[in-house]
Chain A
Amino acid sequence: GQQVMQIPQYQHVQEGEDFTTYCNSSTTLSNIQWYKQRPGGHPVFLIQLVKSGEVKKQKRLTFQFGEAKKNSSLHITATQTTDVGTYFCAGDSGNTPLVFGKGTRLSVIA
């Protein structure tokens, strides 16, 4: 079945440093979604990417979808303590439930 792999599993950064998490699917996706889960909270939808090679920005967050629609990345510029949490990618192959990556847990040291 479809698998979604996400790396790294953990990332510790100093406040102000950049952060990137990568997501790879074993199959071509119709879209990929990114979620953020704060400690003790539930996943919150951040963005959906649909088009091959698509790049979207949300303030300090930049999301990319690969040309082959099998990989994606989330980059945070100049991290802040409010960025702490686990970032999940989730792949949608169309008419199937989302398949979540294992997440990247980000901690930011002030």
Chain B
Amino acid sequence: GAVVSQHPSWVICKSGTSVKIECRSLDFQATTMFWYRQFPKQSLMLMATSNEGSKATYEQGVEKDKFLINHASLTLSTLTVTSAHPEDSSFYICSARDLKAALQETQYFGPGTRLLVL
């Protein structure tokens, strides 16, 4: 099946530093990737939609200058949390749609990245 990887899986950083998270589709191409944030015991909240070769579309309330998204290729999207603060601590999950899948609307999720900002 379609596999999506994320790196790193865990990151602990000091307040004020920037953190980059990578999301890769390993065995398929994805023109669209999605970034979600999930706080403990809560649902997935969509942050932004990442489109290959174009600017990301951010959801209301998500600061695009703080959460920089780059989708440089059909298999890689990155999320950079700039000047991270403790309130940014969360579980960040990416997902990707397989262009050639029979169920094209299906999203395949990465394993997530747990960010802890001290």
Contact = CB atoms under 8 A, between A and B. Distances in A.
Given A31-B105, A48-B105, A100 B112 contact: no
Contacts, number: 45
Interface residues of B, number: 19
B27 to A, nearest CB: 15
Contact of B49 (A30, A31, A44, A97): A97
Given A42-B93, A42-B112, A103 B43 contact: yes
Given A42-B93, A43-B93, A98 B107 contact: yes
Interface residues of A, number: 21
Interface of A: 30-31, 33, 35, 41-45, 48, 88, 90, 92, 97-103, 105
A4 to B, nearest CB: 9
A31 B105 CA distance: 8
Contacts of A44: 109
